[in-house]
Chains A and B, each alone.
Chain A
Amino acid sequence: MAGPSTAENNVHPSEAEGVVREPLVLNDRPMSWITDRICGIVENRQPFIWWVLFVPSALLFGLLLGTLVYLVSTGIGVWGNNQPVAWGWAIVNFVFWIGIGHAGTLISAILFLTRQKWRTSVNRAAEAMTLIAVMCAGIYPGFHVGRFWMVWFLAPVPNANGIWQNFKSPLLWDVFAVSTYFLISVIFWYIGLIPDLATLRDRAKSKIPKFLYGFFALGWRNGNRQWRHYEMAYLLLAALSTPLVLSVHSVVSFDFATSVVPGWHTTIFPPYFVAGAIFGGFAMVLTLMLPVRKLYGLEDLFTHKHIDNMSKIILLTGTIVGYAYIMELFISFYGANKFETDAFHLRILSGPYTWAYYCMFFCNVIAPQIFWFQWARHNLWVVFIVANFVNFGMWFERFVIIPTTLARDFLPGQWGYYSPSTTEKLMFAGTFGMFMMLFLLFIRFLPVIAMSEVKGVLPQSDPHFPDWKKLREKRRKANS
């Protein structure tokens, strides 16, 4: 806490070293502007392009439901899975969506603990994206078990024969990890939403929105006697979610790493998967937020500084992923295990899926390197295109890990090939529809930026530096 200080030395801590920092909200926007702009998205009519995106997304979601009905009524054979490739697109897509779901909680938890104030403009949308991505992910293993109505066997209750689950199985760990992650992310997101729902409640004119926002705001009154517990709750959730977000993809990677399949049985998997998940998640956040920012005029809130920071995270994690790719190859060579060496030889040189490997390598490792240059991080088109390369590349990473490895295991007599069936392709398109549809509904009905948090990082919100404006001008003059 900053105590009273002399008038001359009364410098805002963020500018203590004489550096004029780029403000988090541009153009000195007052708080009421922030409220109006963000609530306006919910209160006004949606732009035409919202409908242009929403209608096809909803249709694709319908397609997803259709393929699921077809799958359940016919049988799991409508997918292209076979022996030896029992984990086809279903698990590829599961890991892909779960990976995307990592950015939200990373932004809200880890960046909160590390006091990265720029997170406030991004975290709400990223958390919503997380929840939606985890929902999309959950569909796949649920139906991959074959008989969807038996999914309750995964819950820790004895089944009809009194048999309990095998708690030593990584697949069961996965059930716990993913469901815990989903529930904690919902709690985190909802607690963060309460003050903003109260804002929408107080602004609502008509009866039904007033009732609904009021119902979910729970009667929140913004009192400091509430805020102090609220802040503690938020801090605790951030502290708990930080190891959680790192654990989820680690546990997902255990599904592979604890098996004895060559190409999967490696200790690098947990950190490699986590870095990849953060990488892919940030790319998806940028893919969604760049158009949202433009469409709803949020340039002052979601600034170049945010995009720059996120591009740097993509560069960092992409490089970690590249390191992991190369280290995997090195260890397979250095380990001198014949099966391992062959698995990677087949993966990069002579196997049926080498094209996928190079596709992945280019998208994930080479493409983000352009972010070393500031002009690239500041050119929105470059950022958008690279983010999409990453989305594409991260899907290929999972494809390389799963079918490539399974198609070539120990005995050549077991070797096979896998290509997805039409149902699988339609289903994947369907989950994209579901993802887009739910995200568009989120934009339509909930505040896309955490208003109460953004207001808290404005320079005028610090009670200890009432004359911040004068001080900033003084600093500027001294610097120039």
Chain B
Amino acid sequence: MSASTDNSKSLFGYVAEFQTASDLYHAAEKVTEAGFRRWDVHTPYPVHGMDHAMGLGKSWLSAAVLVGGSTGFLFALFLQFFTQVSLYPTVVQSKPTNLFTLPAFFPVTFELTILFSGFTILFGLLTVIMLPRWNHPLFNSPLFEKATDDGFLMVIEARDPKFKKEKTHEFLTEIGAGKIEEVAH
């Protein structure tokens, strides 16, 4: 609560409802234009092109997964070469164990690459979207429950530097919001 502009310290922000995905999309373009930063749209499904309307770039989760997958790949090679070649060579059916037995190590290397990538996706995702966080001021809003059903909602937070209690309310009406609800902390 650093940049609370006017009176109410306990105001979290506004939840505004729009009629259709299309209305919300165009409203989001206008909010981006107006230069708001602490805001989001909440929809029952990911709306196509909304990242563009909100001026958001590509998610960088893929970069984290590249690192995770590479770790898995290297770990698998280390595990197999270290244990099979130097620590305890298992000679079965007089098959050799040395650097050239690489093809026999492909399946496990492949699987561990995928496994490490998968866990990086899960934990990477939870990290970037900052979950789990079981409580949130938005859960106080009855209107917000529609986000998981059929509502197209926009939330502008009070801590946004551009947020002004009356002006933002007017602005939301202007860009086509129907119901607007104040959410307290």
Give the B-binding residues of A (Cβ under 8 A).
1-2, 30-32, 35, 156, 158, 162-170, 172-173, 176-177, 180, 183-184, 187-188, 190-191, 195, 198-199, 201-203, 214-215, 218-233, 236-237, 240-241, 243-244, 247, 251, 254, 451-453, 455-456, 460-466
Q: Please measure, in the bound complex, the distance between the C-alpha atom of A452 and the C-alpha atom of B46, giving whole angstroms.
A: 8
Q: Is the CB of B128 within 8 A of A247?
A: no
A381 shortest CB reach to chain B, Å: 34
Q: Is the CB of A168 within 8 A of B134?
A: no
B49 contact set on A, CB distance < 8 A = 1-2, 463-464
Q: Is the CB of A226 within 8 A of B129?
A: yes
B24 contact set on A, CB distance < 8 A = 463
**Given known contacts A191-B122, A229-B59, A463-B24, A224 and B51 CB-to-CB distance under 8 angstroms:** yes
B97 contact set on A, CB distance < 8 A = 168
Q: Is the CB of B42 within 8 A of A455?
A: no
Surface stretch bound by A, among B105-113, B165-173, B174-182? B105-113
B34 contact set on A, CB distance < 8 A = none
B52 shortest CB reach to chain A, Å: 6
9 contacts between A and B (CB under 8 A): A168-B92, A168-B104, A203-B149, A214-B134, A222-B42, A225-B54, A228-B56, A464-B49, A466-B20
Q: Nearest chain-B residue to A167 (Cβ)?
A: B80
Closest A-B pairs by Cβ, 3 of them:
A456-B45, A31-B150, A463-B25
Contact with A along B134-173 (1 / 0, CB 8 A): 1110100000010111100001000000000000000000
Q: Please measure, in the bound complex, the distance between the C-alpha atom of A186 and the C-alpha atom of B101, giving whole angstroms.
A: 32
Q: Is the CB of B62 within 8 A of A236?
A: yes
Q: Nearest chain-A residue to B65 (Cβ)?
A: A236
A176 contact set on B, CB distance < 8 A = 107-108, 111-112
Q: Please measure, in the bound complex, the distance between the C-alpha atom of A222 and the C-alpha atom of B115, giving whole angstroms.
A: 27
Q: Please measure, in the bound complex, the distance between the C-alpha atom of A230 and the C-alpha atom of B20, giving whole angstroms.
A: 22
B contact patch SS: helix
Q: Which of A190, A224, A243, A455 contacts B40 (CB 8 A)?
A: A224
Contact with A along B73-112 (1 / 0, CB 8 A): 0000001100110011010100101000100110110111
A201 contact set on B, CB distance < 8 A = 148
B59 contact set on A, CB distance < 8 A = 228-229, 231-232
Known contacts A170-B107, A202-B148; 8 further A-B pairs (Cβ under 8 A): A188-B118, A199-B148, A218-B126, A222-B42, A224-B50, A225-B129, A229-B59, A236-B65
Q: Please measure, in the bound complex, the distance between the C-alpha atom of A195 and the C-alpha atom of B52, giving whole angstroms.
A: 22
**Given known contacts A176-B108, A218-B134, A452-B44, A229 and B92 CB-to-CB distance under 8 angstroms:** no
Q: Please measure, in the bound complex, the distance between the C-alpha atom of A478 and the C-alpha atom of B107, giving whole angstroms.
A: 55
Q: Is the CB of A230 within 8 A of B46?
A: yes
A1 contact set on B, CB distance < 8 A = 48-49, 52
For the complex, is B117 an interface residue (Cβ under 8 Å from A)? yes
Q: Please measure, in the bound complex, the distance between the C-alpha atom of A32 and the C-alpha atom of B112, giving whole angstroms.
A: 42
Q: Please measure, in the bound complex, the distance between the C-alpha atom of A226 and the C-alpha atom of B126, giving whole angstroms.
A: 9
Q: Is the CB of A220 within 8 A of B40?
A: no
A347 shortest CB reach to chain B, Å: 26
Q: Which of A184, A190, A222 contacts B44 (CB 8 A)?
A: A222
A457 shortest CB reach to chain B, Å: 8
Q: Is the CB of A463 within 8 A of B121?
A: no
Q: Please measure, in the bound complex, the distance between the C-alpha atom of A168 and the C-alpha atom of B104, giving whole angstroms.
A: 5
**Given known contacts A167-B80, A222-B147, A464 and B90 CB-to-CB distance under 8 angstroms:** no
Q: Please measure, in the bound complex, the distance between the C-alpha atom of A72 and the C-alpha atom of B25, giving whole angstroms.
A: 62
Q: Is the CB of B43 within 8 A of A227?
A: yes
B112 shortest CB reach to chain A, Å: 7
Q: Which of B61, B114, B129 contacts A184 (CB 8 A)?
A: B114
Indicate the member of B43, B101, B124 with the most A CB atoms within 10 Å.
B43
Q: Please measure, in the bound complex, the distance between the C-alpha atom of A222 and the C-alpha atom of B41, giving whole angstroms.
A: 8
B168 shortest CB reach to chain A, Å: 18
Q: Please measure, in the bound complex, the distance between the C-alpha atom of A241 and the C-alpha atom of B115, giving whole angstroms.
A: 10
Indicate the member of A170, A173, A183, A236 with the most B CB atoms within 10 Å.
A236
Q: Please measure, in the bound complex, the distance between the C-alpha atom of A78 and the C-alpha atom of B70, giving whole angstroms.
A: 46
Q: Is the CB of B41 within 8 A of A224?
A: yes
B69 shortest CB reach to chain A, Å: 8
Q: Is the CB of A164 within 8 A of B84?
A: yes
Q: Please measure, in the bound complex, the distance between the C-alpha atom of A466 and the C-alpha atom of B101, giving whole angstroms.
A: 60
B154 shortest CB reach to chain A, Å: 10
Q: Is the CB of A240 within 8 A of B117?
A: yes
Q: Which of A187, A198, A229, A254 contacts B107 (CB 8 A)?
A: A254
A195 contact set on B, CB distance < 8 A = 44-45, 148
Q: Nearest chain-B residue to A199 (Cβ)?
A: B148
B129 contact set on A, CB distance < 8 A = 225-226, 229-230
B96 shortest CB reach to chain A, Å: 10
Indicate the member of B48, B97, B105, B149 with the most A CB atoms within 10 Å.
B149
Q: Is the CB of A455 within 8 A of B118?
A: no
Q: Nearest chain-A residue to B51 (Cβ)?
A: A228
B104 contact set on A, CB distance < 8 A = 167-168
